[in-house]
Amino acid sequence: MTVVFVHGVPDTQHVWDAVVSRLDRRDVVRVSLPGFGSPAPAGFSATKEAYVDWLIGQLTALPSPIDIVGHDWGALLTVRVMSLRPTLVRSWAAGGAPLDREYVWHQVAQAWQTPGKGEQIMTALTPETMTANLVSAGVPPADAAKTAARVDPTMKRCILALYRSAVHVGVEWEDDLRRVSAAGLVLWGEKDPFAAVGFGRRLAQRTQAGFVSFRDCSHWWQLERPAEVAAELSQHWAGL
């Protein structure tokens, strides 16, 4: 049995450290998306489809049964895999990223999606400014500094390619949610500045998943509420 944790943007696998340390499981695999704290293979396009294919490859190489947990882009990739390969895992948990045609990308994402402007932003981005931006979004200061220190030119290029491939991801992927059949759990911060909590409830409804919202919590619930997240995941798995 294996539980796989999938991080988002601009994170690495270390974003899960506080949750994993609180779990009574030793069958944990924390994957690093190509280009995010790990090398990007030669010719890797860093599009949403490329990351989905990569994640499917990672999962098929692991022993079954598999539970998967994703946050932010890791959540979008997780739900997409559940749509394409409904029986690949035993259960899933995800949150912090809506898969909804009514969702409008937040301002930072829209800037990254704009050719030229996105490159200017990434060129000017320093660890100090990234740390400040993350803290303003609810990340604990120590975690924000560690995350910012890991943002390198490869990650910046992959972020731009990923977001530019996903301008219409809601329209392209939402209808396939009806194929999701594995037991699911949606986790959301009530004060998420990038995606309102209502999108989390809608995702749960459309996939017949459980839903948990964390009070006074922003986007990075695994950093802000690690003990609560670990407890919710443990309860989710115990009920399977």
Residue 232: per-residue pLDDT:
98
* Residue 146's pLDDT band (cuts 50, 70, 90): very high
Quick one: pLDDT at residue 166? Answer: 98
> What CA–CA distance (Å, rounded) separates 80 from 56?
10
pLDDT band at 131 (very low <50, low <70, confident <90, very high): very high
pLDDT tens digits for 57-90? 999 999 999 999 999 999 999 999 999 999 999 9
What percentage of the chain exceeds 70 in pLDDT? 100
Joined tokens for residue 119 = 């490159």
Beta strands per DSSP E along the chain: 2-6, 28-31, 66-71, 91-95, 183-189, 210-214
pLDDT of residue 61: 97
For residue 3, give every residue at least 6 positions away whose Cβ sits within 8 Å of its Cβ, in sequence order, or none: 23, 25, 27, 28, 29, 66, 67, 68, 69, 237
Please report the pLDDT score of residue 148 as a whole number.
Answer: 98
What CA–CA distance (Å, rounded) separates 105 from 141? 25
User: Whose CA is closest to 186, among 112, 126, 98, 85?
Assistant: 98
Average of per-residue pLDDT values in the chain? 97
Q: Which of 126, 142, 129 is nearest to 14 (CA)?
A: 142
Q: What percent of the chain has pLDDT over 90?
A: 100
Structure tokens, 89: 């895992």
Q: Is the peptide bond before 226 cis (omega within 30 degrees of 0)?
A: no
Contacts of 106 (CB under 8 A, 6+ apart): 193, 194, 195
Provide the pLDDT for residue 119: 98
The model's pTM: 0.97
First to last CA, the chain: 13
Of the pLDDT bands very low, low, confident and very high (cuts 50, 70, 90), residue 107 is very high
Give the pLDDT mean for 8-35.
97
| pLDDT band (50, 70, 90) for residue 112 | very high
**Cβ pair 126, 134 in contact under 8 A:** no
pLDDT at position 218 is 98
For residues 33-44, average pLDDT:
95
Q: Are 97 and 147 in contact (CB under 8 A)?
A: no
Residue 202, pLDDT score: 98
Q: Which domains does the chain have, with CATH numbers?
A: 2-104+168-238 (3.40.50.1820)
Confidence at residue 192, expressed as pLDDT on a 0 to 100 scale: 98
Instruction: For residues 70 and 151, give the distance between their C-alpha atoms in angstroms, rounded to a whole number.
Output: 20
Interval 116-122 mean pLDDT: 98
